[in-house]
Amino acid sequence: MLNSRRSFLKSLSRTALVLSLQDVLSLAVPAQEAQQGMSRPTYNAPARAPKMAASPILGTPLGYSFVDVATQSGLHAKTIYGDEHKNRFLLETTGCGVAFFDYDQDDWLDIFLVNGSRLSGFPKGQEPLSRMFKNNRDGTFTDVTIQTGLGRAGWGQGCCVGDYDNDGWNDLFVSYYGQNVLWKNNGNGTFTDVTEKAGLKQDRVRWNSGCAFLDYDKDGHLDLFVANYIDFDPKTAPLPESAGCAYKGIQVACGPPGLEGAKNILYRNNGNGTFTDVSKKSGILDTIGTYALSVVVADLDNDGWPDIYVANDSTAATFYRNQKDGTFKDEAIESGIAYSPDGKPQAGMGVSVGDFNRDGLLDIVKTNFAGDTDSLYENLGDGTFEDHTYLSGLGINTRYLGWGVGFFDPDNDGWPDILISNGHVYPEVDNSHIDAPYAQKKYLYRNLRNGQFEEVTKVAGNGINEPATARGCAFGDYDNDGDMDVVVNCVNTVPQLLRCDSTVQRNWIKLRLVGTKSNRTGIGARIVVTAQNQPGKPLQQLDELRSGGSYYSQNDLRMHFGLDVAPKAETVKITWPSGVEDTWKDLPANQLHVLEEGGKLLKSTPMGKKLTPAKA
């Protein structure tokens, strides 16, 4: 059934037949769901678990756990986003992203937390601010929001990082419902709002969502993609009581079905500190993609050019395939990454890419709405993907609603695992008949090294199992001890800082890239690390350096690779966006190596010393 439906959908894309969005949806959505109008469809995907094939680690002790040390570490700022108990509009539900961002270049990760607002507003001077926390290098953070100049109020959404002007200091872009902001890093611990100067001032109120810096035309300057959700005006938006919007019999905020979807934006970097809107010229505006939330950029078809994949809410996902001439074409349907396994559009939230089966191809994981599975798409290497959700073991869970997501390697065995941050979209589900709370635990899936995953949530520590109203999450090693930690931005509460405490002694390597012909941050560079952890069995891993991703968030820009027992990386090969290929040999494990385009090793810094742990 899957193959026949996919073949049918692919055949449509290869003909001259042009379908409207409603036509496409009618192919996949049952009539009773299509008639729900202005509320999300009720998803009822059956939970299915595959027979687990033989694996050397299935059922073995995990070897690490996560503990939430946010409050003890000084992350005390509450993220405000809509009313805490009942929401009138969709605007109050989406929440914010977070960035692991080394803004001062001391090779210790700082944290930027996007903040929101409430419809009732706040007295002047008491508005919630997005906040920057400086890493004190001892497991704690200091709020430096005012000192850095980053204190700004509003309906914040997502954030992404990149050196847009190639001055050697990474800059910060924050999306808003309203006006986006480009913060230029001055290199002295402060930032300047250069939005208008850079040509990013918008002519009307937009609901901007996920974002990512990328060099789509490979000219050495970072361009900017900004997803957009819906065209929303609280003065004209329907109210739940008047429009009859409901979720499983509960009155909830209306949308996104029935509301006008917004269009995504692509800005080209002019190379002089300014940007030009090329959304129309590039073909971005001509796609049917709408209700966009998160975005990830990667060379998904292995042609050397960055593509853009967007998780859309309540409709098909969008895959902007780079045509290598300054334009993009949506090929999500023919590539097999638009729909669920049974051909239905899903309510996509967050998205990440990684090579989960280590075949040298980048795969996709996407989080979806409650009642549905999350999605795992396996890259087949010919420009198409196969839905691997049920075969992988991710199809066992349908109860929770996923947001932030990432492939990461917390046990440093060289095989990417998956973490999903969950939380319901409607606070009204609490104290109702619905068997899914507003605050939810996370899902952690361990890679079994055979194409399958084992859910290990229950044994992964209180940081994973403590219910949270999670939205955006970012991955990085904030304490420089060699294992990957997670920061989570939550709705109407303080964030979570999930410190990974490992008892397994495995090696790893970190790489910080410096472009010369390419953009200075090295975004878009493809890295292949080869190590020898067993005689005759090379451990080879592939990844790319990305801006944005997860849900509205930014991961550590230092690339982290687990090496298992290998004492070194025998080779590190980098293909830069410029096309330059460099190879370094015999880089020692458990160190941060700073690599410059052209083959230069700028410095190597040993890491891994355990800090005095904050008490949980």
How many CB atoms are located within 10 Å of the residue 132 CB? Answer: 27
Is pLDDT at 153 greater than 80 in this prediction?
Answer: yes
**Domain-ending residue, one of 445, 468, 502:** 502
Whose CA is closest to 86, among 252, 236, 234?
252
| pLDDT tens digit sequence for 349-383 | 999 999 999 999 999 999 999 999 999 999 999 99
Q: What is the pLDDT of residue 286?
A: 86
Q: Considering only CA atoms, which of 44, 69, 32, 42 is closest in space to residue 466?
A: 69
Render pLDDT for 306-354 as a digit per residue (tens, 0 to 9). Answer: 999 999 999 999 999 999 999 999 999 999 999 998 899 999 999 999 9
- Asked if residue 27 is part of any domain, the answer here is no
Q: Are residues 540 and 476 in the same domain?
A: no
The conformational region for residue 524 under phi > 0 = left, psi -120 to 50 = alpha, else beta, is left
Q: Are residues 192 and 248 in the same domain?
A: yes
Phi/psi class of residue 529: alpha, beta or left (left: φ > 0; alpha: ψ in -120 to 50)? beta
Number of domains making up the chain: 2
pLDDT tier for residue 609 given thresholds of 50, 70 and 90: low
Residue type, 344: K
Residue 58 lies in a domain: no
Q: By three-state DSSP, how is residue 465 classified?
A: helix
Torsions phi, psi for 273 (to 5 deg)? 90, 5
Residues 584 and 597 in one domain: yes
Instruction: Determine the pLDDT at residue 39.
Output: 73
Domain contains 613: no
Are 280 and 209 in a shared domain? yes
Cβ–Cβ < 8 Å for 152, 159: no
Whether 45 is covered by a domain: the verdict is no
Residue 551 and residue 482 share a domain: no
20 in a domain, yes or no? no
Clarify whether residues 531 and 552 are in a common domain. Answer: yes
Percent of all residues in the chain with a pLDDT value above 90, rounded to a whole number: 86
Q: Are 116 and 155 in contact (CB under 8 A)?
A: yes
User: Tens digits of per-residue pLDDT, 172-182?
Assistant: 999 999 999 99
Q: Which of 502, 533, 567 is the last residue of a domain?
A: 502
Please give the structure tokens belonging to residue 533: 């952890």
| Amino acid 18: pLDDT | 30
Tell me the per-residue pLDDT of 562-607, one tens digit each, with 9 for 90 and over: 999 999 999 999 999 999 999 999 999 999 999 999 999 999 999 9
Q: Are residues 419 and 540 in the same domain?
A: no
Query: How high is the pLDDT of residue 37?
Result: 47
332 found inside a domain: yes
Q: Which helix (H) or strand (E) holds 245?
A: none
Question: What residue has token string 């929440």?
Answer: 95
Mean pLDDT of the chain: 91
CATH code assigned at 292: 2.130.10.10
pLDDT value at position 232? 94
In a domain, 530, yes or no: yes
Does one domain contain both 462 and 318? Answer: yes
Whether residue 42 has pLDDT greater than 70:
yes
Q: How confident is the model at residue 22 (pLDDT cuts 50, 70, 90)?
A: very low
**Percent of the chain at pLDDT exceeding 70:** 92
47 within a domain of the structure (yes/no): no
Q: What are the helix and strand counts (H, E) for the chain?
A: 9, 38
pLDDT band at 11 (very low <50, low <70, confident <90, very high): very low
Do 450 and 513 reside in the same domain of the chain?
A: no
Whether 344 and 456 map to the same domain: the answer is yes
Q: What is the pLDDT of residues 255-291, one digit of tens each?
A: 999 999 999 999 999 999 999 999 999 999 988 768 9
Per-residue confidence (pLDDT) for residue 36, from 0 to 100: 42
End of a domain among 502, 527, 543?
502
pLDDT tops 60 at residue 544? yes
The answer to whether residues 227 and 188 belong to one domain is: yes
Range of the domain at 466: 67-502
DSSP assignments along 6-24, one per residue: HHHHHHHHTSS----HHHH
Q: Are residues 512 and 498 in the same domain?
A: no
Over residues 528-539, the mean pLDDT reads 87
Rounded to an integer, what distance in angstroms lies between the CA atom of residue 267 and that of residue 167? 19
